[in-house]
Amino acid sequence: MVESELSAETKLLLSEIKSLEQEDKKLTSQLEKLNNELDSKEKKKGWLLKGLDKLKEKVAGLISEEDNLLYQKNFLESEKEKLRCIYNSVSNKYDDNMKDLEDLMRDVGFMKGEIDILQSKTQILESEIPYKFKDSENLDKRIKITFFRALNNLQKRINDVQRKAELIYYRPR
């Protein structure tokens, strides 16, 4: 009976061993599949890490470029503000100079009128000469004196206008 029991037990153990061996083969097969998957995932991970490194480099370059552009933008904005201040200052000086030039033009117009008046007075005096003065030397002296006074007066006014123009033109800005 022991032999028959052993044999049944042996059969049972043998069948269990066979089933364990089959299960071992299945697990070995699954292990190989998992190892293959792990290898492929490790390769993919390596590839992704390389890609990540490249992307990090690219992003670092872009960030550096962005920082540079922001710096340039801030610099250009400050330069723009400086130029705006300079423009406003020059514009104000230009307006002042234009006003001074307008005043000078009025003075020149006034002097032109004065010259015309002096010429007409000279013509009047010249036309009255035969009636008022009999002595030509006396007449000549009076004409010269009047003419030279008028020229000196005119010269003084021209010099004044010229000085004003030079002062305005060469005034420190």
Q: What tens digit of pLDDT does each residue of 95-123 get?
A: 998 898 888 888 888 888 888 888 888 88
Q: Where are the domains of the chain?
A: 2-170
Q: Is the pLDDT of residue 85 over 90?
A: yes
**Sequence-ordered list of residues with C-beta below 8 angstroms from that of 111, at least 6 positions apart, any chain:** 154, 157, 158, 161
* 140, 150 contact by CB (below 8 A): no
Q: What tens digit of pLDDT does each residue of 128-156 get?
A: 766 665 667 777 788 888 888 888 988 99
Q: What tens digit of pLDDT does each residue of 51-82 get?
A: 999 999 999 999 999 999 999 999 999 999 99
* 151, 114 contact by CB (below 8 A): no
Q: Is the pLDDT of residue 1 over 50?
A: no
